[in-house]
């Protein structure tokens, strides 16, 4: 990556922070009406978005790139804002937040097993799944408040994936070429496992949003190559 690569990302996150401040919050007083199965899915994704991100920030700071560490802190702030938006949406619909969910606990433990590379690989699984879920939530309901909240989060997630890819491409390029394909294969297996958990757990809600289990899983897996391999597929699969 160019010397100013993560400085550019920092500026993008800061620009987006200022845009959010100028835009303000959705009109929560409109309320929200959704099927209980859709609400259940929102509750579980809200748990996944919540957290202080301290472990990721610490690893980013240890990497020795001040611009990258700053960008990671801004990314964590955006994720915390997603949790806040979803919590406010639940309140608007008269639904409580959850104190936790087993799937989030598993992901957090996986992310913390090793260093920054492993943390980002596991985080990318959640990000790729979230892209499809928030698109379904945005497009699959006629509730205006839900559509707005999901659209705001989806726009952020579409920036988060290439941000994490930029760091992963640099990190994985340092691996021996023979190790890159197995790493990608293992990552896709983890993504498939996570996707199957989501479709099993959220099937009723996804159907209410007009996306069946098979379609959701197929869309996630089809998007994974583009999401992770661009813009530098050679960093994963090519080179000496």
In this structure, what is the dihedral angle of CA atoms 53, 58, 61, 62, given to the nearest 10 degrees? -150
DSSP state of 113: S
* Span 159-212, pLDDT tens digits: 998 898 888 887 777 777 777 778 888 888 889 999 999 999 899 999 999 998
| pLDDT at position 231 over 50 | no
Give the model's pLDDT for residue 232. Answer: 46
SS3 content of the chain, % helix, strand, coil (to 5): 80, 0, 20
**Which residues lie below 8 Å from residue 29, measured CB to CB, with a gap of 6+?**
92
- Cβ-contact 221, 194 below 8 angstroms: no
| Percent of the chain whose predicted confidence (pLDDT) is above 70 | 85
Q: Give the gyration radius of the chain's Cα atoms.
A: 18
**Euclidean distance between CA atoms 15 and 153, whole angstroms:** 16
CA within 13 Å, CB half, 15: 7
Mean pLDDT along residues 98-109: 65
Kindly report the pTM of this predicted structure.
0.86
33-58 burial, b for 16+ CB within 10 Å, e for fewer? ebeeebbbbbbbbbbbbbeeeeebbe
Helix (H) or strand (E) holding 209: none
- Cβ-contact 195, 216 below 8 angstroms: yes
* Span 61-100, pLDDT tens digits: 988 889 999 999 999 999 999 999 999 999 999 999 987 6
| pLDDT at position 3 over 80 | no
Give the model's pLDDT for residue 74. Answer: 96
């Amino acid at each position: 990556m160019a010397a100013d690569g993560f400085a550019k990302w920092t500026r993008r996150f800061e620009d987006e922070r200022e845009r959010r401040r100028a835009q303000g919050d959705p009109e929560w007083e409109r309320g929200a009406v959704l099927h209980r199965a859709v609400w259940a899915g929102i509750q579980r994704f809200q748990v996944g978005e919540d957290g202080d991100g301290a472990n990721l920030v610490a690893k980013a700071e240890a990497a020795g790139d001040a611009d990258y560490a700053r960008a990671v802190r801004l990314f964590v702030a955006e994720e915390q804002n997603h949790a806040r938006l979803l919590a406010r949406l639940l309140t608007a619909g008269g639904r409580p937040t959850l104190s936790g969910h087993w799937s989030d606990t598993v992901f957090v433990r996986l992310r913390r097993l090793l260093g920054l590379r492993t943390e980002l690989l596991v985080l990318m699984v959640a990000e790729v799944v979230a892209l499809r879920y928030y698109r379904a939530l945005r497009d699959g309901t006629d509730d205006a408040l839900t559509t707005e909240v999901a659209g705001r989060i989806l726009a952020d997630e579409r920036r988060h994936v290439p941000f994490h890819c930029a760091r992963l491409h640099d990190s994985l390029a340092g691996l021996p070429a023979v190790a890159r394909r197995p790493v990608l294969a293992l990552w896709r297996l983890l993504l498939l496992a996570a996707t199957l958990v989501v479709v099993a757990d959220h099937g009723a809600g996804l159907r209410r949003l007009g996306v069946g289990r098979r379609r959701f899983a197929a869309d996630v897996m089809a998007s994974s190559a583009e999401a992770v391999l661009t813009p530098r597929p050679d960093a994963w699969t090519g080179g000496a």
